[in-house]
Chain A
Amino acid sequence: MSTDFHQSVVILGSTSGIVRATAQAYAAAGYALVLAARDEEENECLAADLRVRYEVPCHALHFDGTDVASHEAFVTACEAALGTNPTGLILGFGYMAEQEAAQTDIAEVQKMVDANLTGAISILERFAQVFETRGSGFMGVLSSVAGDRGKQTNYIYGATKAGLTCYLEGLRVRLFKANVTVTTIQPGFVDTKMTYGLPLPGPLVASPEQAGQAIYRAVSRGKDEAYVPFFWRYIMMIIKAIPRWQFKKMSM
């Protein structure tokens, strides 16, 4: 079956709403897939869904972003499942603690660093090597607009994502020479579990399907950075432009 599928993608953290929709966009475009997540039961449901809807090969593999010792074996397992190394990679796992919890409980901070930085860097470095050696590939990594500017409401989470964004900046330059693209994805509000119930103005909230399509398009075009939905670029431009003396007085 997989011989008909020339392109393949590994999706890390496939059980979150935005990432599920991104996987769907790849399946619709005829990619073979590996869905990787901790929750095996859920992941198998999602893999079955893509196989049934899009008639593409889709493998569910167990993956824990924070278990860095398992990452090397995971790269091998992907190759075994697909019959070849994947064309590219989407990284969508991460952890967000409540700001208040993070301020008082260092274990929560540690969990965010483990997932959003150590775990992400560990697996990205391994695939970076594979893609660099081959001289082709793509990487789409979900960071966060929270990393664009430290806000009192979530600056600890924001700090881990700012670190990730900075890491991707450098990785992009290194892999550019090997014909590998690195896209930093900055999601704004998307209608998933994370935003459900928040009093957000409807027009600012994208559906997961819109977000998934936008991520697929940005990564396919090899963009360096993509805000999803696109207008978040301008919202963040304004937020970043607020002078510090003013920013201090705001409730953000």
Chain B
Amino acid sequence: MEQSLTGWGGMNPETCHVFRPEKRRALSEIIACKHTDSLIARGLGRSYGDAAVNGGQGVVNMSRLNRMLAFDPEEGLLECEAGVSLAEIIDTFLPRGFFVPVTPGTKFVTVGGAIANDVHGKNHHCDGTFCEFVASFTLLIPSGEILTCSRDENEDVFWATAGGVGLTGIILTAQLHLMPVESAYISTDYTQCTNLDSALEAMAATDNDYQYSVAWVDCLAKGDKLGRSVLMQGNHAPADALTGARATDPFAVKGGLPKVVPFHCPSFVLNPLSIQAFNTAFYAAHPTSTGKIVDYNQYFYPLDAIHHWNRLYGKPGFAQFQATLPFESKDGLVKILERLSQSRRASFLAVLKTFGEQNDGLLSHPMKGYTLTLDLPNRSNLTPFLHELDTILLDHGGRLYLAKDAVSTPETIAAMYPRLETFKTIQKRLDPKGVLTSSMARRLGLVG
């Protein structure tokens, strides 16, 4: 059906022809492209920009192809269809002692989307990206053929698809290693850091003691307080660390009904003053503390508790900017934070973390260094401002994350991803007729 689609950021709506197959056979018919010239697969629509939008063309909503096919409890190996969400995996397997090995800040993403964006979580510095835990997947390519891809079979396609934003084919099923855990809880330590230097020092000194580490940054703080942060680090709590009711059932968590933002708020709701007030309160509410036990939802998914939180930004939407810089480019990080603070573009969400080694994913984002993520309301000429940040990033050897990007240019992305040409060669081989494309692919020249 005809449907107006955007990414999670809500910018630039485009009308797309959306298919929602309920059977696998229907998918083979869709990829034969009888009704549209081109297609892109879409999961739960959590990419921020236009990665899963295909203006005027076909979009395949994969949410109904969400069957779990096999589970081996010895290996913790799950085989499932691409439309299965991380939320479904957690609901099913946490009571049996398994958690998702890598999770972004929302559990409402599909396995297919997690592979296509090679997502990362707060544990990248020690565990790497989502695809590190993917043993294999099957990929439907435009010829109608189904390729099995792993590190041993069709290896080049595996690494083109990991982070390849859906342009190599439609992921049908995946085999994924889940992570054994003893409880549904995370033991967390909070550290207040008065400025950027102290935050980076604290991360460098202590990240190795924690599986999960992330810093919340107050990006309105200026001068010697620039980069004022709360470092939030944690490990899965062992069963014997729990007390009371939690000790009796270490996998049970209290589930309140999620709150919902029912409509788009006026866009002035999130403004520098309201965000400054929030930041001050957040900083004060998180004094340095150790050993606090919180459930996985509170630690990993605070925003999932508010459905449609993206509507807080109003109709114009917002852009998420995620920049990754090598460790030696700390001054690039400082410049971005300074530029942000000067411009009074408050970011409601600003987080900083360190990444470990990059993998072989041709367009996979994470690389060794710092990564800074900002949400910026779409107002006062946001695009030129983001291009300015892109330039700072480029000058310092950094790169953007395709899952977040909504406004960048082909030149910028080509300079940031030196393996893009290799990607395009493989993409062309899999899709000689150019059936797979998206608004993002056209905007950034990722195909053809």
Contacts and interface: CB of A to CB of B under 8 A. Distances in A.
A, B: real partners: yes
Interface in A19-68: 39, 41-42, 45-46, 48-49, 52-53
Interface string B5-28: 000000000000000101111000
B71 interface: yes
Given A15-B23, A42-B25, A45-B24, A53 B1 contact: no
A6 to B, nearest CB: 22
B92 interface: yes
Contact of A192 (B1, B22, B78, B80): B22
Interface stretch (B50-58, B61-69, B409-417): B61-69
A93 to B, nearest CB: 15
Given A52-B68, A52-B70, A196-B1, 13 more contacts: A15-B23, A17-B22, A17-B64, A42-B23, A42-B25, A45-B24, A45-B69, A48-B67, A48-B69, A52-B71, A52-B78, A53-B68, A53-B92
Given A52-B92, A53-B92, A193 B22 contact: yes
B69 A49 contact: yes
Interface of B: 1, 20, 22-25, 64, 67-71, 78, 80-81, 92
Contacts of B22: 17, 192-193
B298 to A, nearest CB: 25
B86 to A, nearest CB: 15
Nearest to B66: A49
B69 A52 contact: yes
Interface of A: 15, 17, 39, 41-42, 45-46, 48-49, 52-53, 192-193, 196-197
**Consensus secondary structure, chain B interface:** mixed
In this complex, the member of B23, B67, B69 whose beta carbon has the largest number of chain A beta carbons within 10 angstroms is B67
A48 B70 contact: yes
Given A17-B22, A49-B68, A52-B68, A197 B1 contact: yes
A88 B24 CA distance: 29
A193 B23 CA distance: 10
A182 to B, nearest CB: 28
A6 B125 CA distance: 49
A26 to B, nearest CB: 16
B76 to A, nearest CB: 13
Contacts of A46: 67
Contacts of B1: 196-197
B70 A41 contact: no
4 nearest interchain CB pairs? A197-B1, A49-B67, A52-B68, A45-B67
In this complex, the member of A39, A46, A52, A193 whose beta carbon has the largest number of chain B beta carbons within 10 angstroms is A52
A41 B69 contact: no
Contacts of A196: 1, 20
Contacts of B23: 15, 39, 42
B219 to A, nearest CB: 37
A21 to B, nearest CB: 11
A193 B65 CA distance: 12
Contacts of B68: 48-49, 52-53
Contacts of B80: 52
A127 B92 CA distance: 33
A42 B27 CA distance: 12
A41 B20 contact: no
A163 B153 CA distance: 55
B2 to A, nearest CB: 8
27 contacts: A15-B23, A17-B22, A17-B64, A39-B23, A39-B25, A41-B24, A41-B25, A42-B23, A45-B67, A45-B81, A48-B68, A48-B69, A49-B67, A49-B68, A49-B69, A52-B68, A52-B69, A52-B71, A52-B78, A52-B80, A53-B68, A53-B92, A192-B22, A193-B20, A193-B22, A196-B1, A197-B1
Nearest to B68: A52
Contacts of A197: 1
Contacts of A45: 24, 67, 69, 81
Contacts of B67: 45-46, 48-49
Contacts of A49: 67-69
